Amino acid sequence: MIVVTGAAGFIGSCLISKLNLEGFRNIVAVDKFNIREKEPNLMGKSVIEMVDRDSFMNWLDKNAEKVEFVFHLGARTDTTEFDMELLNRLNLDYSKSIWNSCVKYQIPLVYASSAATYGGGELGYDDNHEVIDKLEPLNPYGVSKNEFDKWVLKQSEKPLFWAGLKFFNVYGPNEYHKGRMASVILHAFNQISKTNAMKLFRSHNPEFKDGEQMRDFVYVKDVVDVCYFLMHHRKDSAIYNLGSGTARTFLDLVKATFKAIGVEENISFIDTPADIRDKYQYFTEANMAKLKSIGFTQEFTSLEAGVADYVGNYLMNKAYY
C-alpha cells in the first residue's frame, strides 16, 4: 500500500492520478474529507481506503507492515494564516508524528516542504542543508515548514529513505478548491474569461517593474513525476528543491494564459493587498542541480507548454487530472 496524505488536495490528488496511471491501485488516501469542493479531485481514482487525518496515526500502527511508502503532502498551506498554534499543530507536530512512525516501522517517506522557507531570498535558493538553520521565512506558514526541515536534519534516527521537497510555485489541474491560494493562472483564466482583461499586482519594489516580479512556476505534472522517481530511487536522502529551475515574470504567465484562451492581451495593474505587501517574494528560482545530480534527468515543462496544457485540457472544460 502507498499512503498519500493531503490526498483530496491539489498535489495529493494529482499524485494519486499519476500512481494510478503507472499501475498502482493500492492507495490509502488520508485527509479531512468534509470539504465538498475537494470531492471531484478523487472522483474516478483507484483508492482502497480513505482514512481521516485525525485517525491516521492509529491506522498506521495497525497497518504499518502493509505500507510500502508514505507521501506526506497534507498541510495547512494558506500563506496568509497567522494562527501559529494551528500551523504548529498541522504542519509541524503532525509531520513529526508521521516521521517518528516512519522511523519506527522503517517506511520510506517523502514530505512536502516549501520555497516559502527561503523568505526574501537573501541567502539564495540553494537546497544546501547548511543554510536551512539560517533562513528567515516571511510568513508563519513558511516558518512552520522551515521548523520541520530544521527538526528533520537534527534527528539521529531516520526512516529507511526520506526526502523533503521544497515546492516552488506549483500550478495545474485539481486546484479549483483553493480560492485565494490557487495559482495566478487559475485566477487569470477566471478573470480573462469574465472580462477579457487581467489585473496584476503592481510592484512596490523599485528593483522590479510592474508585472516583472519573478517566480519559479512548476507544473504539477512535473512535481508528481519527481515524487514517482523518488519512490523508486530510495537513496540519497535529503531536502531537495522542486521548481522548474527558471524564474519567469507574471507578465510572461498572463500573456501565455491570454494566448491559450485565444483572447487579445489586456493587462492593467492594481496595488498589492496591504496584508501581504510586506511579506511578498519578488523573485524565486530553484537551484535544481542537487535533484539532477541523483539521476532525475527529465526536462521540466516550459511555462508556455504548461499553461497551454492546463488551460486547453483542464480549465476550458473544468476537467480534473
Q: HEC string of 114-173?
A: EHHHHCCCCCCCCCCHHHHCCCCCCCHHHHHHHHHHHHHHCCCCCCCCEEEEEECEEECC
Q: Which residue is it, cell 496524505?
A: 5
Q: Which of 94, 125, 141, 321 is catalytic?
A: 141
Q: What residues are paired with 248 via a beta bridge?
A: 215
C-alpha span between 200 and 212 (Å, rounded): 10
Q: Is 141 noted as a catalytic residue in this protein? A: yes
Q: Which of 96, 150, 178, 259 is catalytic?
A: 178
Distances in Å between the Cα of 321 and the Cα atoms of 19, 151, 259 are 12, 34, 22
* Cβ–Cβ < 8 Å for 191, 144: no
User: What is the rounded end-to-end Cα distance, in angstroms, of the chain?
Assistant: 21
Q: Which residue is it, cell 508521521?
A: 98
* Cβ–Cβ < 8 Å for 321, 41: no
The three cell numbers of residue 180 are 485565494
* SS3 (DSSP) at 97: helix
- Beta strands (DSSP E) in the chain are 2-5, 27-31, 49-52, 69-72, 109-114, 162-167, 169-171, 198-201, 214-215, 217-219, 238-242, 248-249, 267-270
Q: What residues are paired with 8 via a beta bridge?
A: none
Active-site residue list:
141, 178
